[in-house]
Amino acid sequence: MRLTALACLVAGAISMNATAAEPEAMNEDPYLWLENVEGDEALDWVRARNAVSEKQLAGDPGFEQVRKDILDILDSDARIPYVSKRGEYYYNFWRDKQNPQGVWRRTTLDEYRKQNPKWEVLLDIDALGKAEGVNWVWGGYDCLRPDYDRCLVELSRGGADATVTREFDVSEKAFVEGGFSRPEAKGNVSWIDIDTVYVSTDFGDGSLTDSGYPRLVKEWKRGTPMAEAKLVYEGEKTDIAIGAFHDDTPGWERDFVYRGLTFYTNELYLRKDDGELAKLDLPDGAQKGVYREWLTVELRQPWELGDQTHPAGSLLAINFDDFMKGARDFEVVFAPTENSSLASSGATKDYYFINVLEDVKNRIYVLTPDEDGWKREPLVGAPEFGTVSISAVDADESNAYFMTVADYLTPTSLLLGEIGGKPEVLKQLPAFFDASPYRIEQHFATSKDGTRVPYFMVSEKALELDADNPTLLYGYGGFEVSLTPNYSASVGKNWLSAGGVYVVANIRGGGEYGPRWHQAALRENRNKAYEDFAAVAQDLIARKVTRPERLGIQGGSNGGLLMGNMTVMYPELFGAVVCQVPLLDMYRYDKLLAGASWVAEYGDPDVPADWAFLRKYSPYQNVKKGVDYPPVLFTTSTRDDRVHPGHARKMMARMMEQGHDVTYYENIEGGHGGAANNAQSAYMGALAYTFLKQQLFKGK
């Protein structure tokens, strides 16, 4: 088991006068009532907006075919059923037409190799929801080794981040009467042993952080009320979240407490047998991992250690017990270069592996620790291009691994391999669209400050550079999230096949080049992400791929904030905007749901110096009457308890009042993903594609 300190936490070109922005932001917001998520007046407003958009979009002659195409893809039995090994079984969660909310099931490896494996269904979420009258959405599970017969199952209402936890007996295929059960809240329960768990949750007044996550973690014994659980650690209200976990790796069993200070800083404590906590003397900004005898440290900031300074983005390793005794002779497992960064890392029984991004292309390396350091070799059988991910099958028992491989035009493959040998293809997604007419290219745009910004473009091989191609540009640019080439049947079927060009921008704020790429667009430098995205749009226009009237953009969550700012900062560049589950009011974002946890990313609007730069990229404060903005579709979810739906509601209301061309749809369920099942996902996707086609294919 690889552990990290935050493993259980939650995934300007325009200026504005301060005296004009601040009174409006603080005192004159006429749409605060739309922040009342389930208030009758607010929901009546939502239903009225939904009715208009459904008439405009769902009433389009092409809508139903798009919706059906997406749903057929999502419900297809030919999709890859990804599995996790627990004991002798391989577990999977599956949704399809017959099981829209899904079934939790398992099979053996011999069966899994077959084209149509026989599955043993453990829990039917549709049947459970019907029996209990709740729209339950699967939230995951944690099974107790070595038998894996008792599991802690998480469920949420409508796809929210808040979940309930219930103990499940796999042999009986039933919840354990009188077993561990945690009421609905943001939090977590994890095994220590059959009669003991760690629980971090809402224990009542004062038990949550300002971000809405647990501030307390306790040790809970079977047969006792949760309220009587023993306190293990208590954090501060200003922390992000507190939790604890038991490392059950045979021979290296340990207990840890983690403390999330901010989104990017944390502390990790070893919990000794007597309950005493020993803090690991490591930088707060580093990601800490423990596996078997090794302690790993992934740096987010440079770390001066002795006479050597390790750059941000480095991965270091040392024997855990030696470190706790004072040793600091770390081995350098990975050091970043100008064009490379660490995407992920992990371990099998005898090897460590790293996944490196080199100009946004994955490279997998296997490392073998020995007396002379960590020997590094490329993984046999890994492809040269595309998105490649790797994970151990059963890290405590073998050197087997799963590898997934895909790019924008190549259907995803799942391979099974043993380090040192050539992997075999276990499963492959069928081609949901004919990719033969298309090609993938990587280009680089030059941002305002001279930075080279990579982007991928998928288009017809015979593309005419006549500035008349409907083009969809996607971006995110935040939280060190990297956008790599992945197969999207929906994009291929509903955009490429319709004659569109698809582009993904790898702008700063993401993780494509490690911490430096992310940190270059933090807080007061947020404008760099927007300048990068604008540079990609301008490059597409300069290369005559498209023109503003044919150029649409799309993004969600932090990418929704990107969409909002591109709309108000660069309206002349775009012909349509799809803004999904967005942040938009940066004056109040930290007071809404999980917003306080993102202050390290954006800044604190309650600090005057921070609001001075935040107001420059707060779309809600910067949108103006009389400006010719591109048409915008806002989508969100009532049940999103991460990014408050009030952001999209208020922006829609303000732009509508100002007379702009805006459309709105709010799914009453769905959580932060915007949809709670495949049918809802298909509907939301069809709304977006229909809107984009209506705006960008005019005259085609």
**Which residues are catalytically annotated?**
557, 672
Joined tokens for residue 574 = 């775009």
Distance of CA 252 to the CA centre of its chain: 30
**What's the Cα-to-Cα distance from 608 to each of 176, 255, 419, 518, 590, rounded to whole Å?**
53, 42, 54, 24, 14
Joined tokens for residue 690 = 């229909």
| CA separation for the pair 391, 6 (Å, rounded) | 19
| CA separation for the pair 525, 439 (Å, rounded) | 34
Q: Assess contact for 394 and 88: CB atoms under 8 A.
A: no
Q: Which residue has the tokens 């607010």?
A: 42
Q: Assess contact for 482 and 511: CB atoms under 8 A.
A: yes
Joined tokens for residue 311 = 């750059």
Longest CA span, the chain = 74
Q: Assess contact for 688 and 552: CB atoms under 8 A.
A: no
| CA separation for the pair 4, 312 (Å, rounded) | 17
Sign of the dihedral through C-alpha 664, 670, 675, 680: negative
Q: Assess contact for 531 and 447: CB atoms under 8 A.
A: yes
The DSSP bridge pattern shows strands 352-358 and 340-347 to be antiparallel
Collapsing DSSP states into helix, strand and coil, what is residue 220?
Answer: strand
| CA separation for the pair 509, 522 (Å, rounded) | 7
Backbone dihedral angles phi then psi of residue 386, each to the nearest 5 degrees: 110, -175
| CA separation for the pair 593, 608 (Å, rounded) | 22
Q: Assess contact for 641 and 156: CB atoms under 8 A.
A: no
Q: What secondary structure letter does DSSP report for 672?
A: G
Nearest Cα to Cα of residue 34 among 655, 694, 697: 655
Nearest Cα to Cα of residue 513 among 560, 469, 451, 575: 451
Q: Assess contact for 443 and 455: CB atoms under 8 A.
A: yes
